[in-house]
Amino acid sequence: MRKVTIMAVSFVLGILFPISAFAANGDLELVSGSLRFIPQNPMEGKQTRIYASIKNNSGDDLYGVVKFSNKTQGVTIGGDQPISVFAGKTDDVFVDWNPTAGEQSIGVSIIPSQKGDNAANNSYSISINVGGDLDRDGIPDGIDLDTDGDGVLNTEDAFSRNPKEWKDTDGDGIGDNSDSDIDGDGLTNDQEKSIGTDPMKVDTDGDGVADGKDPFPLDPKEWKDANHNGIGDNKDPDKDGDGIPNDQDPFPDNIAPVIKIVDDQSIPFIVSIDKPFKLNVGPSFDPDGKITEISWIVDGKDVDSNNTENSANLNTANGNTSNQTKTYEGISPLITLNTPGNHTIELQVKDNKGEIKKKTWKTFATASVLSTQGGMAAGIIALALLAVIYYSTKALRKDSSKEDQSQLH
């Protein structure tokens, strides 16, 4: 029984792998121009069979492996295809391929199993254009009226190659089916649903202002609330919230700049003459625009930042030469008072709409040592010492008088 088995195996191996093959020398050739496709014009998504012809140029049967590849995509097509070609014959080998659209470079190569093969004729490649058929309906994309097969004609489809999108209401390049803000008004679809506005309309109330910028998106008569008090500007008697009624306010639509002083407690009430000091309004801001001018007017009379020269002339004409108007510009200038006595410092902050906000301080300039903290402290101590000396002397005089009277008695 064992002999029979060995003989049977030997017979099969002899048929599949003739003894001459194991020692054969010869050349397998990939026939030039034999690479072909069925169907001849491949289309995207449609299975295509690729054929190649292998020729045996020797007197022995030869074996090997054929590889197909897509060089454009850098991938192998199918698996290795074993071949066995009789002496002097030609045989075909094939593989199935599911192509993608576009120009593709398809290659085929032989890996022979025997020695003496001519490597120069073992590979070949060809370029082929695969027709597009995105929706796999058998109609090439070039003539398909609905390329992505979503039921919307290309002429009406904002995304003709995306079967999940076909409309872009706000034109932001994101299809409505995946856009969180379909109308592009600044409110998400969910936000619009929660407040009752229409996620498909930029001007739900029809007032021309996008819902996301309209404090009153459901009121066609209101679209702005400058002072954020919940009353629309069209109804609000004080639109800018500055406490001045609209009909009395020269800037009813403008919110005045806000003056803020760095360390408000540091503002000097007593200063030394000819000694510079600073006030800093760096934190000041304009709620609805920007600050364009900052002026510090010393000893001005009913002046603004554009009329300081006239004020100075007025003071001089009135004989007030000791306190003439000076103007300083900027956030924190060095201010100097040159004459002793009372002075007024007025800060004027102007915004880009021309509205001015003012703040005024009174200060006293002196040449005395008492004008400094150290001088004041020394003065207080000196006064205290004088008081001690005065009362001590008075007490001594009183005690001396009593003693003299005692001696008289």
- Claim to verify: residue 299 and residue 351 sit in the same structural domain: yes
Pairing of strands 270-272, 356-366: parallel
Which of 73, 102, 130 is a domain's end point?
130
User: Residues with Cβ < 8 Å from 283, sequence gap 6 or more?
Assistant: 260, 261, 262
Q: What angle do CA 124, 126, 127 make, to 5 degrees?
A: 155
- Claim to verify: residue 329 and residue 400 sit in the same structural domain: no
Residue 12 lies in a domain: no
Taking the C-alpha atoms of residue 118 and residue 130, their distance in angstroms, rounded to an integer, is 33
CATH number of the domain enclosing 355: 2.60.40.10
Residue 183 lies in a domain: no
Strands (E), 260-324: 270-272, 277-278, 291-298
- Claim to verify: residue 350 and residue 390 sit in the same structural domain: no
Range of the domain at 290: 264-370
CA dihedral of 240, 241, 247, 252, whole degrees rounded to 10: -20
- Claim to verify: residue 120 and residue 35 sit in the same structural domain: yes
Residue 338 lies in a domain: yes
Residue 158 lies in a domain: no
When pLDDT is averaged across residues 197-226 and rounded to a whole number, the result is 86
> Which pLDDT does position 22 carry in this prediction?
44
Q: What's this model's pTM, rounded to 2 decimal places?
A: 0.46
Look up residue 380 and give its two tokens: 């207080």
Number of domains composing the chain:
3
pLDDT tens string 121-149: 999 999 999 999 999 998 999 999 999 99
User: Residues with Cβ < 8 Å from 226, sequence gap 6 or more?
Assistant: 233, 236, 239, 240, 241, 253, 255, 288
Which of 130, 159, 175 is a domain's end point?
130
- Claim to verify: residue 31 and residue 99 sit in the same structural domain: yes
Residue 17 lies in a domain: no
User: Residue 314: is its pLDDT beyond 50?
Assistant: no
Query: Regarding predicted confidence, which is higher, 313 or 220?
Result: 220
Asked whether the beta carbons of 338 and 323 are under 8 A apart, the reply is no
Neighbours of 55 (CB within 10 A): 17
- Claim to verify: residue 302 and residue 389 sit in the same structural domain: no
Residue 7 lies in a domain: no
Taking the C-alpha atoms of residue 233 and residue 270, their distance in angstroms, rounded to an integer, is 45
- Claim to verify: residue 354 and residue 313 sit in the same structural domain: yes
CA distances from 201 to 158, 176, 192, 209, 228 (A): 18, 13, 10, 11, 25
316: confidence class by pLDDT, cuts 50, 70, 90: very low
- Claim to verify: residue 54 and residue 113 sit in the same structural domain: yes
- Claim to verify: residue 307 and residue 398 sit in the same structural domain: no
- Claim to verify: residue 271 and residue 322 sit in the same structural domain: yes
180: confidence class by pLDDT, cuts 50, 70, 90: very high
Which of 130, 149, 184 is a domain's end point?
130
pLDDT tens string 6-46: 344 444 444 544 444 444 578 999 998 899 999 999 999 89
Query: Regarding predicted confidence, which is higher, 42 or 405?
Result: 42
- Claim to verify: residue 355 and residue 304 sit in the same structural domain: yes
Look up residue 294 and give its two tokens: 């900052």
Look up residue 305 and give its two tokens: 């930042």
When pLDDT is averaged across residues 173-197 and rounded to a whole number, the result is 90
pLDDT tens string 65-98: 999 999 999 999 999 999 999 999 999 999 999 9
- The closest of 255, 231, 210 to 351, measured between CA atoms, is 255
269: confidence class by pLDDT, cuts 50, 70, 90: confident
| Least reliable range by pLDDT among 229-243, 375-389, 394-408 | 394-408
Residue 320 lies in a domain: yes
Show the DSSP H helices in 115-228 as ranges: 189-195
> Which pLDDT does position 321 carry in this prediction?
43
User: Residue 319: is its pLDDT beyond 70?
Assistant: no
Taking the C-alpha atoms of residue 99 and residue 43, their distance in angstroms, rounded to an integer, is 7
Residue 286 lies in a domain: yes
369 phi and psi, to 5 degrees? -65, -15
User: Residue 351: is its pLDDT beyond 90?
Assistant: yes
